[in-house]
Amino acid sequence: MSVLVVGGAGYIGSHTAKALAASGREVAVLDNLSTGHEEFLRWGEFVRADILDDPASLAALLAERGVKAVMHFASLIQVGESMAEPGSYYRTNLCGVLNLLEGMRNAGVDKLIFSSSAAVYGNPRSVPLTEDHPLLPINPYGWTKRMAEQMMADFGAAHGLRSVSLRYFNAAGASADGEIGEWHDPESHLIPIVLDAALGRREHVAVYGDDYDTPDGTCVRDFIHVEDLAEAHLLALERLEEGGESAAYNLGVGSGRSVLEVIETVRGVTGRPVEVVTADRRPGDPPRLVASSSRAESELGWRPVKGLEEMVESAWKWHRNLHHQG
């Protein structure tokens, strides 16, 4: 099967393109390289294009390459930025999805795997979060993911699209062989920020709030290895290939680690000091975000296998190579 990976030059998209190629599928990667990296374009044909292009050009691209399924990763992802610049988020994350859906409809492509987020839930009413939790986002980023899921459901009802929305929690780590890893500019994710401090590229790590109702007072999050995420995308594709109906799945390990636990793990793995500075809480940060992934386990046969230490070890290897430090 030929699969188009939209946003395949990015962090999770590139790991999934690599996994798709390893599974024997034909891969094409569509990316505008606004945030992705040419160095990650190692698996499949590269098409430089933008999902904000008109649907007709996307339909032509799908038809010309005989694409049978699409995996969509291309979106803006910074919660704080979405609060300050909501227009950019609605334009990229929703107009882009609409164009893609129209292009798929016109080309007769009816299978879509969508990169969603735990942000669709908003403030959790109970932990761990299940897929039945109310969808009440608290920021524009979360709303774009929630609305995109609704758009896919509507295209399913009207046009027969079958889709799987994968609601990630906190992606982390790098490929085991060190070929690709997490590379954002600017960086906003916890583990690479702490690794920057371990490399001496940052003076300290800011911990936003140490007075939450958690064991050590810092926020607790569910960290999931990027290679485990990539495996979930392949299993979701297999579900659709076998005729499965549309669905949404949480992807996490089912247990949380606090910000301070992550920092201590980095210290242990790297053997280097990391200075911590306590800062004010950030608005909208829930104390705990932990997934129940039992639905993905039972329906997809997916089970994460890599823990926090492996995430940090693989990320440390990648991070040192990225910044040319042995």
- Enumerate the active-site residues: 141
State whether residue 186 is helix, strand or coil: coil
Q: SS3 for 230-274, per residue? A: HHHHHHHHHHHHCCCCCEEEEECCCCCEEHHHHHHHHHHHHCCCC
Tokens 């690794």 belong to residue:
195
- The CA distance from 115 to 166, in Å, is 6
For residue 87, what are the contacts with CB-CB under 8 A and spacing of at least 6?
none
How many Cβ atoms sit within 10 Å of the Cβ of residue 21?
16
DSSP secondary structure letter of residue 282: P
Scored b (16 or more CB within 10 A) or e, 285-309 reads: ebbbbbbbbebbeeebebebebbbe
- State the number of CA atoms in the 13 A half-sphere of 266 facing the CB: 27
Q: Are 178 and 315 in contact (CB under 8 A)?
A: no
In sequence order, the β-bridge partners of residue 205 are 276
* Nearest one of 323, 240, 221, 232 to 68, comparing CA atoms: 240
CB-based contact 71:14 (threshold 8 Å)? no
Q: How far apart are CA 211 and CA 58, in angstroms?
A: 49
